[in-house]
Amino acid sequence: MIPLASLQRTAEELMAKAAIEIPDDYLAGLRRCANTEKGDLSAFVIQAMLENYEAAKEDRRAMCGDTGVPRWYVKIGNDARIDGGPIALEAALRRATANATHSVPLRPNRVHPLWRTDHNNNVGINAPEIEYSFHPNADWVELTTVHKGGLFGSDYRMLFPGDGIEGIKRFYLDTLVAFGKRGLACQPAIIGVGLGGSKDACMVLGKQASCLRTVGSRNPDPKIAALEDELHELGNNIGMGAMGFMGSSMVVDCQIEVGYCHTGGMPMSVHMFCLSSRRSTARIYADGRAEFRTDPMWFTDYSRRATVEWDQPMLEAAE
Amino acid sequence: MSSKLKTVHLKLPASTEDLQTLEIGSVVYLSGRVFTAREGIYKRAIEEGVGMPASREDLGSANFHCSPAATIEPDGTLNVGSVTATASFRFAKWLDGWLKLSGCNIIIGKGGMTSEVYRDIFVPNNTIYLTTVGYGTGALLGRGIRNVVGIHWKEELGLAQAAWVLDVENFGPFLVESDLEGNSLFERENAKIAPGIDKLYEGTRPATLRRYGETDNKKEEVI
């Protein structure tokens, strides 16, 4: 039985880690941008950001003043037992969100869409979002928090099979050019692309691709992996760098996730995870012990499963 | 921070003469008093006719489009951790009234406004625009805060929309986006990127299902 107190304590620690510590994979990707950037202004911006990450870690303060809209991804092992069950877990995640908003501190970003009511704790109606996944042959629970900005850099479009790869590239460029100008998307960014599913699933897949994969990881389908490389390069050929200044640093990496869709369509979503690509994960075991990491390992062979039954032996996470 | 860019340290409040020395693309660090104000303050001060939340002496004349990551401790202490700007283009409709009411001559924010807004509103009011860098240098900016002087309209607007008054030292970096003549750094950069756009789109295909929209000219902006 996983103790509830361990889950809540770990969740609060995850909130602070996400807000303060830039993940190593994104940092390495941004350093590669710094090494190749020729534009003076764009290079200056990247250098300032690299210094900012150090300042955040030294001072234990949030790396960005807009601490995004915190949300949770929960992966539950098939054999895990949670003290109080999933209802208690959800309450613990909501408490952790509220407590960390005060203790880090985070910006209390969450308000009612119409009445603008702010509880000053990032908790409210349907907030924070909590998404679930499951994992075979495991007795642990994994918690991931993502603090992504909420205003610019994502879009959806219904494409059709006839639009082809040329249509995918077009919509990809449209989104990057639109939100790249003046740096509204706070690039260089991790670009997540969702292809397929229904409209809501398409948005979810693209968002998860940008937030829950790591820089350098590749889709297990080699042709999709090649498309990820191609779109990564295409985004950096726009001529636009950090803050929309002339340069080559638009995309730190591009990640694509797919889901089967209606035979007549090819829906596509694009999401941009920013210079503060904040995510933090922990696995909590039955004895309450927590192991922290920055790779959510959300996508696995099991989570992407393509067949009716899951009858393969469990494999390690794909990335 | 080492860079090829020109760097200026500016004391606040700044005179028009001080602002005349600033060129677009220069790096600026501020020392003195700044305050946060965004749509909540603008709406209340201007549309609802309440006026300013405090005197010009109390607030200073540099308006930061920002909500800090901040909290109020049980003993009333104001704790500001990290500060970053929010996108300014959304606030253009209030700015003429705001600059006249507040006397601000520096607007600090994210992403700037259009040069049309600079010409029509900023230039006649001798006001410049500084953009934050990144836009995520919240921890560096947090380090520049020497004292959280006060907070106004916390009850009326909540922590995120309230006016936070900050005394700062070497607060930055910022980049000059618009000078006293209304030039825009972002528009200058857009113009440099525009010639390559047509080539970039070679080998792509317009979507079969079209959408009603406001622009399909990739050389334009969406703000």
Asked if B207 and A179 come within 8 Å (Cβ–Cβ), the reply is: no
Q: What is the mean pLDDT of chain A?
A: 95
Calpha distance A211→A296 (Å, rounded): 9
Sort out which chain A residues have CB atoms less than 8 A from B207's CB and list them. 157, 159, 163, 167, 170-171
Radius of gyration of chain B (CA): 19
Asked if B81 and A181 come within 8 Å (Cβ–Cβ), the reply is: no
Name all domains of chain B by residue range, CATH numbers in brackets: 7-186 (3.20.130.10)
Q: Which of B5, B133, B139 sits opposite A40 (nearest CB)?
A: B5
Residue A133 pairs with which residues in a beta bridge? A75
What CATH number does the domain located at A4-17+63-149+279-293 have?
3.30.1330
Which residues, in sequence order, are CB contacts of B4 under 8 Å at separation 6+?
A40, A44
The burial class, CB within 10 Å (0-12 / 13-18 / 19+), for A245 is buried
Residue B3 sits at the chain A interface (C-beta within 8 Å): yes
Strand-pair category, B62-64 with B106-109: parallel
Query: What's the pLDDT band for A318 if we cut at 50, 70, 90?
Result: very low
Calpha distance A122→B61 (Å, rounded): 31
Residue A36 pairs with which residues in a beta bridge? none
How many other C-beta atoms lie within 10 A of the C-beta of residue A298?
23
Distance from CA of B212 to the nearest CA of A (A): 12
Q: Which of B71, B86, B136 sits opposite A63 (nearest CB)?
A: B136
Calpha distance A232→A192 (Å, rounded): 10
**Residue of A66, A187, A238 to mutate when probing chain B, most B C-beta within 10 A:** A66
What tokens does B187 get? 């528009």
Sort out which chain B residues have CB atoms less than 8 A from A181's CB and list them. 186, 190, 221-223
| DSSP structure string for A285-310 | -TTS-EEEES------TTTT--SSS-
Residue B159 sits at the chain A interface (C-beta within 8 Å): yes
pLDDT, one tens digit per residue, over A195-251 is 999 999 999 999 999 999 999 999 999 999 999 999 999 999 999 999 999 999 999
Q: What is the ipTM of this complex?
A: 0.89
Residues 25-44 of B with CB under 8 A from A: 25, 27, 40
Calpha distance A164→A226 (Å, rounded): 15
Sort out which chain B residues have CB atoms less than 8 A from A270's CB and list them. none
Domain boundaries, chain A: 4-17+63-149+279-293, 151-273
3-state secondary structure of B7: strand
**Residue of A52, A248, A277, A278 to mutate when probing chain B, most B C-beta within 10 A:** A52
Asked if A101 and B141 come within 8 Å (Cβ–Cβ), the reply is: no
Tell me the pLDDT of chain B (223 aa) as tens digits.
557 899 999 999 999 999 999 999 999 999 999 999 999 999 999 999 999 999 999 999 999 999 888 888 899 988 888 999 999 999 999 999 999 999 999 999 999 999 999 999 999 999 999 999 998 899 999 999 999 999 999 999 988 899 999 999 999 999 999 999 999 999 999 999 999 999 999 999 999 998 887 777 888 888 8
Residue B114 sits at the chain A interface (C-beta within 8 Å): no
Average pLDDT, stretch A6-20?
98
Q: Which of B82, B86, B203 sits opposite A166 (nearest CB)?
A: B203
Omega into A86 within 30° of 0, i.e. cis?
A: no
Inter-CA distances, B98 with A151, A221, B37, B69, Å = 24, 55, 10, 24
